[in-house]
Amino acid sequence: MEGHASHLFFDGNTIFSYGMHFPIATIFGHVVFFNHSKYSVTTSCHQSLVRNEIKHKQVIPVEVLPVDRDPRHDRSFQERNVEYWLKEMKACWQQLAQHPKRRSLEQKIRAYADYIRQFIQLLGIIPTKSFAALLEAVDAKKLSVFLRREVKGRLFTTAPKALSLKQHFLRQLAAWEKGFLPVVSYSACPEELADIAYLRFNDLTNRIETSKEIQMPVALAYRCWRSIQEHIARKQYVCDIPLLSYHVSKITATHIIINCHTIPVRQVNKIAQQLGWQYPETAANT
C-alpha cells in the first residue's frame, strides 16, 4: 500500500488509520475482521485500500474490533457484534414489510445470519439454547420475540465447561486446520501428542503446512506422497525418501515417520483427497 497508506500502521494483528482511535481490520488466521464503521473521508479511503488487499481472504465485517485481546476470549467484542447483526436483521425485516419487492433486503438478512454462524463457529462460542434455536431457523417473528426478551449475557453460555489439556489442544488444532489460527502452540500439549505433526493445505500460498510450522510446495509434497505409495505397493516400509531437509524413514499402517516427526496416515490421506491425488495402483485396488 502506498500514498494514503503512509498513515496506516500495524500494531500486532490490527491495522489502524492515523491513530489507535480507529482500527480498520484485525487478522485472525485466514480470517479478517473488517471494521465497516464510518469515521472520515480519509479513513474511508484507508478502508478501501485495506479491503482491496484482503479480498483473497475470508472477510467478516464487524461493528467493533478486538484490539487488545484474543477475540476468542473477548466477550464484549463477541456480544456487541452479534447484537449489532441481530438488530440489523430486524431493521431489514421491518423495511421488507414496507417494501416486499426489495430482494436486496432478503440478501442482507441472509448475510447477517451467515456472519453470526461463521462468527460463532470461528471463535468456538457456545450459544444459549434459545439463541441456538433462533439460529437454526431465523424468521422475523422469532427474532422480534428474542430481541424483546434478550438481556445481557443471554446470547452465550456464561460458564463453559473446563477443558482438559488434551481437549484444549485438540480444539486449538481443529481451529488451526480450518485456517483460523496461524500456528499451533505445543507449550501445553499432552505428552502423547507432542511428537505428532498435523497437516493442512493453505490455498492462499498453495503450500502444505504442518502444525510444527514447516511449509512445503504442493508439487514437492506430491512427489514425496507418490514415493510413499510406491514403497507401500512394494511392501517396503523402511525407506529413505527425501523431503526438504528431512527424510521419510518408516511407514506403518497408522503413521509416517519423518525424522523426529510422526504424521498420522489419516492426515496424509486427508490432504491427498482434498487435492485430488491418486496413485494408479491404489486407485485400481479400491
Q: pLDDT tens digit string along 212-260?
A: 989 999 999 999 999 999 999 999 999 999 999 999 999 999 999 999 8
Q: What span, in angstroms and rounded, lies between the C-alpha atoms of 213 and 243?
A: 15
Read off the pLDDT band of 157 (50, 70, 90): low
Q: Is the dihedral of CA 244, 246, 251, 257 positive or negative?
A: negative
- Backbone region of residue 178 per phi and psi (left: phi > 0; alpha: psi in -120 to 50; beta: other values): alpha
- Could you tell me which residue, 176 or 207, shows the higher pLDDT? 207
| Model confidence at 203: pLDDT above 70 | yes
Q: What is the pLDDT of residue 284?
A: 39
Cell of 8: 496506516
- Could you tell me which residue, 169 or 154, shows the higher pLDDT? 169
- Could you tell me which residue, 171 or 14, shows the higher pLDDT? 14
What is the mean predicted confidence (pLDDT) over 95-113? 89
Mean pLDDT value across the chain: 83
Whose grid coordinates read 474490533?
65
- Identify the H or E element spanning 98: helix 75-98
Q: What span, in angstroms and rounded, lies between the C-alpha atoms of 211 and 263?
A: 10
Nearest partner of 134 among 158, 115, 117, judged by Cα: 117
Residue type for position 59: V
Least confident window among 59-73, 130-144, 217-231: 130-144
- Could you tell me which residue, 201 or 177, shows the higher pLDDT? 201
Q: What is the pLDDT of residue 160?
A: 47
| Model confidence at 197: pLDDT above 90 | yes
